[in-house]
Amino acid sequence: MKTLKVVLVATMVAFAMVAAANADGFKSKPKFTNKVDITIENAVKNPGLVAAMYDQLNENDIGPLGLPPFIFDVKYNGAIYRISGTRIEWIRFFRTRGISPCEKSANGAVYD
């Protein structure tokens, strides 16, 4: 019985020390907490996101060959957008720079 009391007191002291060690209050706040997974087809429907993609991404990031899907992170409106697409879709995106999706559908042009 005496040994049991000593073990219980030692356990209580150990828990108190662990609780005190975790109560430092110095936790960093992440800048971007929202992560959104989206395809490139849906991303081009948002003009602001398209502008951010052109600012933050480069056609040379695609590389000559690679395994699909190609995923790029873009920071926009306090969130990180993880945009995925095939190599052909990304090349098509960079080649049609400056033409909004609305203009493509209005002109009826197909960009391959």
pLDDT digits (tens, 9 = 90+) for 24-71: 565 665 554 688 888 889 888 888 888 888 888 877 777 666 666 788
> Which comes out higher in pLDDT, residue 73 or 21?
73
Nearest to 32 by CA among 1, 65, 77: 77
Task: Name the pairing type of β-strands 70-76 and 34-39.
Answer: unpaired
By C-alpha distance, which of 89, 54, 84 is closest to 69?
A: 84
**Average pLDDT along the chain:** 75
Q: Domain-by-domain residue ranges, the chain?
A: 34-101
Measure the CA–CA gap between 19 and 103, rounded to whole angstroms: 60
pLDDT computed for residue 18 by the predictor: 72
Could you report the per-residue pLDDT of 70-79, keeping only the tens digit for each?
888 899 888 8
Whole-model pTM: value is 0.54
